[in-house]
Amino acid sequence: MTATNVTLSDRRWLILASAVVSFFAVGTTFFAVPPLVPQLTAAFGLNHFHIGLLVGAIAVPAIVLSIPLGAAVDRWPARAAGNVGLVLMFIGAGFFAAAPSYAFLLTGRLLFGIGGLLINLLLARLIATAFAGRELALAMGIFLAVYPAGLISLFSAHPFLLEHLGWRGELGVLAGLVLIAIPLHTLAVPRGLRGSPVGDAEVSGFRTKASPSLIALAISWMLFFAAYASVPTFAPEWAGGGPRALLTVTIIMWTAAVLSPVFGSIIDHLGRPGPWVVGGLLALAAALALMSVEAITPVVAMLVVGVSAAAVTTATYALPPQLVAPARVGFAFGFITAFSNLGTVIGPPVAGALRDHSGGWTLTWSVLAAVALLGAAAAVLVRPKST
């Protein structure tokens, strides 16, 4: 083991703490649209499709950039790359808060998406490397619990922020969170830290070849996000609207935040993350199917969706190190991220269009349930090297 690896391993908990702050900033801005639907609709004359497109726009850059950036973070200086990502996030968040038109809102989401993508890939690789061989699924569970914590915090604080700061001021507060993350990232990541030294020919091969299991995981991850990202976007309206409905939807994230580290610890001991992906997607499909026929209460539905999110995300993030060589981990995260963001881009706009077309929720939730079932079928094909 090299001196750099020893330093990174020794700093693993500090790196995780810094990653938590950075990812919290990503999560709060990603979920900034749903609580502001009434304000954005009134200000810019939007329909459900426009709202869905606004949610998905943040993921558009990842469709094109995830794979090349995933391979690049295997070689780039980690501290500098992270700071570039955070600065882009700040610019995008500020642009979104000050937007005078819908086009500017979309532009701000796109800029934030580029920075958020870079941060997401870099942090996933740093944690996977720092915790390699020990506590990896637990660390990923803690890391991924931050994303739902962002939604919980935002949805809970939204009424207060909206009343006292207005919707633009609320978005400005979210931009300020990014500024807090920059010095913490600089402190946590060692200067000059780079990814594994690999040759250009080898990196080129990473970009052009993915194993069948990695492809299956990416497809499963894409279909999960196509269904899952639509739930917090439209469930507040489905649950009746208003602050009470927002708090009901936070049950998803409370559940995911609590269970992600728990599931991560269990997966560390059992060593079989694949079945957790399958089970989580089946649970999501069941919840959506019951929502489509009004056979489940909002509270129970959000609880089941939260269990699904905890299982699928924790297990998925634990799988790339089991599917590829250590030098390919960044590429693997980039590969599955490209697919997941494609799902995020497509899912909410399609769900919104179905809602606009049908005037109700039956068709919307039914289609999303079928998507989740297809994701479970794809996950069955994932075969880790260690099993």
132-156 pLDDT, tens digit per residue, is 767 777 787 777 778 778 878 888 8
Task: Using the predicted structure, report yes or no on whether residue 4 has a pLDDT greater than 50.
Answer: no
* List of residues 6+ apart from 30 with CB closer than 8 A: 58, 116, 147, 150
Mean per-residue pLDDT over the chain, rounded: 84
- The stretches of 98-197 forming alpha helices (DSSP H) are 102-130, 136-188
- Concatenate the DSSP letters of all residues of 355-385 into one string: HHHHSSSHHHHHHHHHHHHHHHHHHTT---T
> 59-115: per-residue pLDDT in tens?
888 788 877 877 777 677 888 888 888 999 999 988 889 999 999 999 999 999 899
Lowest mean per-residue pLDDT among 32-46, 195-209, 319-333, 358-372 = 195-209
240: left (phi over 0), alpha (psi -120 to 50) or beta: left
Q: What is the pLDDT of residue 198?
A: 39
Q: Cα 74 to the chain's mean position, in Å?
A: 20
Residue 2 phi, psi dihedral angles, 5° rounding? -80, 165
The domains located in the chain, with CATH, are 3-379 (1.20.1250.20)
| Start-to-end C-alpha separation, the chain | 25
